[in-house]
């Protein structure tokens, strides 16, 4: 058997060398070379006991885990164990001192050839920093706030294109995704590279080549596995995926996060690049698709893992997405999840503002509130995620027009885990900082991108938790207009404004007209989308007043 | 093409009939017959526009979703759309009134032969109630409370065996699992059926046969897919799985739950049997395995789905498991998740007590507390899950011995979603009922099977939420002793007792000795497991005082 195995390995190595030589001489045959692969089928429990208690063990499922049980108490079983162990001829292997004989030790390879010391199995040793451009070169000039409609992921695409270019020689950066690079608006990377493709390429094909650095295959499992292997061997990458379908690799994410947690405790393991997810085509924008494509729950799973391993970012516009994307690519030993839409959306922050906001993780958007005395608003309107941010700002606009005397504070959250207490997560705000933003006693209407429970779970220890009222995805969905999706889940501007009025003490009685108007708008919307199949013009064309 | 397709279907049907005839005549060849399968590769966007704007569309990825965009605004594109639609010769298909011509309508099949009316696509129409035995026939006689050590899933196995038997003729019940039926202690079903096996069967094989009703394959995806298909066609089933690995089918679970949510709103869709999961070999008992096998987060995902679709049960012993298993098999249009260990564990409730407890979902275990006046304990010790229940009772025992004057109430939760408010889940307790159990102001130490956040998320609306302190799996694991797993995650009896003392106002000062003793035990445990590789005898051999 050993002779056979050695001979097979020799012939396989020869074949690999031959394929490489042909490719390097430019004499490779058309199509993908057939790389050799060894299929070794060996009996389960091979060389272990053939039978125990008259029952077949070797080559059978009984060989699993512990083939002979209770060897302490059962003399017959102990004899089986002893015979088995003696079958290895320990006298030939070990000296009188119980140590492996020197001539056998000498057979083992030395240095990096040792299996446990091979740098390809400790990728951090091979890792080179990614050469990234300056994000300010890609910044969106937002002009008047809320006036520019931009596809945020497209802007990130420009940054990724140049990152790809700067690291072309190092050949250590790849983008992975289930056939969605274009669809997710990252297409400008194809200005500098292609999709890797090993089959035939036809004249009408576009952006396919043997050495493309975009890995596309309609299997989230394969994308995840490829990226894990790529990171573990010291390289860098980004996995862009439809939000709902990233659940396909939940179990693989779990295992990678566990692996990171454990290896961080092993000094000899050097840090590897973070596993970065860009979740786009998200729950709120599934115009052609439907309920099956609507699931923002991956982050709930992520938040279960060890705090220092995971980060969750919900950039509300292009400049914040640029900051977050760049930040994630430069971290290590983490799993970063970025959730950002690909549809045109209003732009809120200049690059400088975005950098400050993202570094803090959470911030008051003073320009979007009207509290004169910064310490005592009547109401906090909070949001996390691009669509909730737009709906919150529209609700603030409605409320300010209808009830000018209401003092509103607007808060936006980019770094979701900053909501947690500092003793639960390293990014968590201190209680003082949290209270300074969310107040200790005012109603907070929180519009959140995903399942609302996550916000409660993250904030339950906070002073003002009882007053935090969360709107999010409550598993109501279908194929409908973008705004109707928010209405079905009560995350839209009218529901938010109504809830604000209902939650501010005494306001309900004073703002009857506004309440009636907002409820009327919901009824109008209901009829309008059914008649015209698109959103009401005042919704579609709404812009922030400054715009 | 149509002629070719028809001819292929004819030959395929002939082949199926032939295989069936041979099998029914007892003349089937050895091994699994090769069922015919049609592989039809058709060009993407077949018969659609060949090109748009000079770019290839038919037979290419550009044919995806909307092959010709902006047909309203672009005359050239509209012409392409019109030519395409006219290619179907609508004048030949529709009359002057715009309706399909009667002679064409007559070609469609009638009644149940219509695709949408076929009962095989509306399994509820075919569904027959499962014939289940009386659970009291399988009840464990618990004797003195906590004295019997029983493998709870083995007891459920007896019930499943007889359920299998009673429905043998109806042939509408199957058990699915990744090669774990024996390992999960459900092996007694093999008294009455086998694993289904279509390959060759050797003389040394056990419990394999062509018509076995246990479906085993080491692919959670296949198990899930098979079971979904089985339920959707009107049958009944149970999927038993290692707890950590059920995440592999997260995405499939999501889609099934969404499907149930939508079909419940369609009157013509008849209810189908529930999708039942038995998650065992759970996080707290992975003696041979390690950190990779430790993940209790599936229920977090489940709790995101529509409340009326999902149920989560954590029976603490065999009789409660019997009640829950039987209940789940008799429900419909739901996803039921049962989490229960397979290792020997103390038995707490008689069958009658178990039935009352499970029906209520949550209950005070008066026998395990020492509050004389039932309205005012000093402390509530709550638990959900079998291992947390044992650790909680052991902590109560420690506290009662050390501080006899402390009035303790012990609460157990079987039906996890009963913790939610009634407006969030149909099983939710009213606030009055919840407060009557958990008090409105006393500290609650809650030992929970999974990630602790879920309990906060379920109870954040409750009066006493600020005083609920949850211990659960905090992602600390390795290959170690059973008790050490609880210590690593601070869910063990000593940590629970320490936290109780720290949380009851004024007790810390009075119970210094007990505190020191419990902390001492943790240190002792730390050294003991490292020296002996097993738990301290006083932990291993602990029993409830009544036992």
ipTM of the predicted structure? 0.94
pLDDT for residue A528: 98
Beta-ladder partners of A215:
A176
pLDDT for residue B180: 80
Delimiting residues of CATH 3.40.50.970 domain(s) in chain B: 132-344
Q: What pTM was computed for the model?
A: 0.95
Q: Which of B65, B457, B475 sits opposite A457 (nearest CB)?
A: B457
CATH code of the domain occupying B362-540: 3.40.50.920
Delimiting residues of CATH 3.40.50.920 domain(s) in chain A: 380-540
Nearest CA in chain A to B472: A304
Virtual torsion, Cα B114, B116, B117, B123, nearest 10 deg: 130
B291 contacts in A (CB within 8 Å)?
258, 262
- Mean pLDDT of the B521-542 span: 97
Nearest CA in chain A to B424: A474
The DSSP-derived string for A201-216 is: --TT--SEETT-SEEE
**Closest by alpha carbon to B373, among B285, B302, B439?**
B439
Residue B424 has pLDDT above 90, yes or no: no
Q: What is the pLDDT of residues A186-223, one digit of tens each?
A: 999 999 999 999 888 999 999 999 889 999 999 999 99
- Cα–Cα distance, B486 to B501 (Å, whole number): 19
Higher pLDDT, A494 or B181: A494
Cα dist. B535→B17, B496, B541 in Å?
62, 18, 9
pLDDT for residue A547: 75
B288 contacts in A (CB within 8 Å)?
65-66
DSSP A46: T
User: How many Cβ contacts (< 8 angstroms) between chains A and B?
Assistant: 82
- Tokens representing A102 are 């020197």
Residue B96 has pLDDT above 90, yes or no: yes
Residue pair B411/B417 in contact by the 8 Å Cβ criterion: no
Residue A126 has pLDDT above 70, yes or no: yes
Residue B29 has pLDDT above 80, yes or no: no
- Cα–Cα distance, A85 to A76 (Å, whole number): 14
Burial of A402 (0-12, 13-18, 19+ CB in 10 A): middle
SS3 B329: helix
Q: Which CATH number fits domain A380-540: 3.30.420.40, 3.40.50.170, 3.40.1550.10, 3.40.50.920?
A: 3.40.50.920
The helix or strand, by DSSP H or E, that contains position B369, with its residue range, turns out to be none
- Mean pLDDT of the A132-155 span: 96
CATH topology of domain A147-344: Rossmann fold (3.40.50)
Residue pair B389/B315 in contact by the 8 Å Cβ criterion: no
Backbone angles phi, psi at B439, to 5 degrees: 65, 170
* CATH class name, domain B132-344: alpha beta
- Mean pLDDT of the A339-353 span: 96
Strand residues in B44-199 grouped as ranges (E): 51-52, 55-56, 149-151, 173-177, 195-196
pLDDT for residue A426: 87
**How close, in Å, is residue B475 to chain A by CA atoms?**
6
pLDDT for residue A380: 98
Q: What is the pLDDT of residues A396-442, one digit of tens each?
A: 999 999 999 999 999 999 999 999 998 888 889 999 999 999 999 99
**How close, in Å, is residue A460 to chain B by CA atoms?**
7
- Mean pLDDT of the B301-311 span: 92
B295 contacts in A (CB within 8 Å)?
254
Work out whether strand B55-56 and strand A468-471 pair parallel, antiparallel, or are unpaired.
unpaired
Residue B254 has pLDDT above 70, yes or no: yes
- Mean pLDDT of the A373-385 span: 89
Nearest CA in chain B to A204: B56
- Cα–Cα distance, A495 to A327 (Å, whole number): 35
The helix or strand, by DSSP H or E, that contains position B490, with its residue range, turns out to be none
- Mean pLDDT of the A294-308 span: 93
pLDDT for residue B373: 67
Strand residues in B90-153 grouped as ranges (E): 149-151
SS3 B61: helix
Q: Which of residues 290-349 of A touch B (CB under 8 A)?
A: 291-292, 295, 297, 300-301, 303-306
SS3 A76: helix
Mean pLDDT score across all residues of chain A: 95
Average the pLDDT over each of A29-43, A57-71, B406-420, B498-512 and give the range with the smallest value. A29-43
Delimiting residues of CATH 3.40.50.970 domain(s) in chain A: 147-344
- CB-CB neighbours of B410 under 10 Å: 24
Please report which confidence band the pLDDT of residue B504 belongs to, taking 50, 70 and 90 as the band edges.
Answer: very high
- Mean pLDDT of the A453-462 span: 95
Q: Which residues contact A266 (CB under 8 A, 6 or more apart)?
A: none
Q: Does B44 lie at the interface with A, CB-CB under 8 angstroms? A: no
- Mean pLDDT of the A536-546 span: 94
- Mean pLDDT of the B384-412 span: 97
Interface test with chain B among A223, A225, A241, A301, by most B beta carbons within 10 Å:
A301
Delimiting residues of CATH 3.40.50.920 domain(s) in chain B: 362-540
- Tokens representing A365 are 């958007």
Residue B173 has pLDDT above 90, yes or no: yes
Please report which confidence band the pLDDT of residue B306 belongs to, taking 50, 70 and 90 as the band edges.
Answer: confident
Q: What is the pLDDT of residues B34-75, one digit of tens each?
A: 899 999 999 999 999 999 999 999 999 999 888 999 999 999
Residue A374 has pLDDT above 70, yes or no: no
């Amino acid at each position: 058997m050993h002779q056979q195995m050695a001979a097979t390995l020799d012939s396989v190595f020869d074949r690999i060398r031959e394929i490489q030589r042909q490719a390097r001489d430019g004499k490779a045959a058309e199509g993908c070379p057939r790389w050799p692969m060894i299929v070794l089928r060996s009996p389960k429990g091979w060389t272990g006991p053939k039978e125990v208690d008259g029952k077949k063990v070797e080559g059978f499922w009984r060989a699993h885990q512990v083939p002979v049980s209770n060897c302490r108490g059962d003399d017959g079983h102990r004899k089986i164990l002893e015979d088995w162990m003696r079958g290895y001829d320990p006298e030939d292997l070990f000296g009188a001192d119980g140590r492996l004989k020197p001539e056998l030790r000498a057979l083992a390879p030395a240095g990096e050839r040792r299996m446990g010391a091979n740098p390809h199995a400790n990728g951090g040793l091979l890792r080179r920093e990614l050469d990234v451009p300056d994000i300010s070169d890609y910044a969106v000039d937002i002009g008047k706030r809320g006036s520019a409609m931009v596809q945020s992921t497209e802007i990130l695409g420009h940054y990724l294109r140049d990152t790809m270019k700067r690291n072309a020689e190092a050949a250590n950066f790849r983008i992975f995704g289930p056939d969605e690079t274009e669809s997710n608006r990252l297409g400008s990377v194809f200005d500098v590279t292609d999709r890797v493709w090993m089959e035939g390429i036809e004249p009408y094909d576009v952006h396919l080549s043997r050495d493309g650095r975009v890995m596309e295959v309609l299997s989230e499992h394969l994308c995840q596995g490829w990226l894990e292997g790529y990171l573990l061997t010291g390289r860098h990458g980004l996995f862009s995926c439809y939000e709902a379908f990233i659940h396909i690799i939940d179990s693989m994410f779990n295992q990678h996060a566990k692996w990171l947690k454990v290896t961080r405790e092993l000094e000899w393991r050097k840090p590897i690049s973070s596993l970065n997810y860009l979740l786009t085509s998200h729950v709120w924008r599934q115009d052609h698709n439907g309920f099956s494509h609507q699931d923002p729950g991956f982050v709930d799973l992520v938040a279960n893992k060890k705090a220092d391993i995971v980060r969750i970012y919900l950039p509300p516009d292009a400049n914040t997405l640029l900051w977050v994307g760049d930040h994630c690519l430069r971290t290590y030993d983490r799993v970063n999840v970025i959730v950002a839409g690909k549809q045109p959306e209003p732009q809120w922050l200049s690059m400088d503002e975005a950098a400050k906001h993202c570094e803090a993780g959470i911030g008051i958007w003073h320009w979007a509130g009207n509290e004169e005395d910064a310490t005592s608003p009547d109401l906090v309107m909070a949001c996390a995620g691009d669509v909730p941010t737009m709906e919150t700002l529209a609700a603030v606009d409605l409320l300010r027009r209808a009830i000018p005397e209401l003092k509103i504070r607007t808060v936006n959250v980019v770094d979701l885990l900053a909501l947690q207490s500092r003793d639960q997560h390293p990014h968590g705000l201190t209680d003082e900082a949290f209270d300074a933003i969310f107040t200790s006693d005012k109603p907070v209407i929180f519009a959140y991108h995903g399942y609302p429970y996550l916000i409660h779970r993250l904030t339950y220890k906070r002073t003002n938790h009882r007053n935090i009222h969360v709107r999010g995805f409550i598993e109501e969905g279908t194929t409908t207009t973008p705004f109707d999706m928010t209405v079905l889940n009560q995350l839209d501007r009218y529901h938010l404004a109504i809830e604000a009025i209902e939650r501010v003490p005494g306001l309900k009685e004073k703002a009857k007209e506004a309440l009636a108007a907002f409820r009327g708008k919901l009824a109008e919307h209901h009829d309008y989308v059914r008649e015209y199949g698109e959103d009401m013009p005042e919704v579609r064309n709404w812009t922030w007043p400054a715009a």
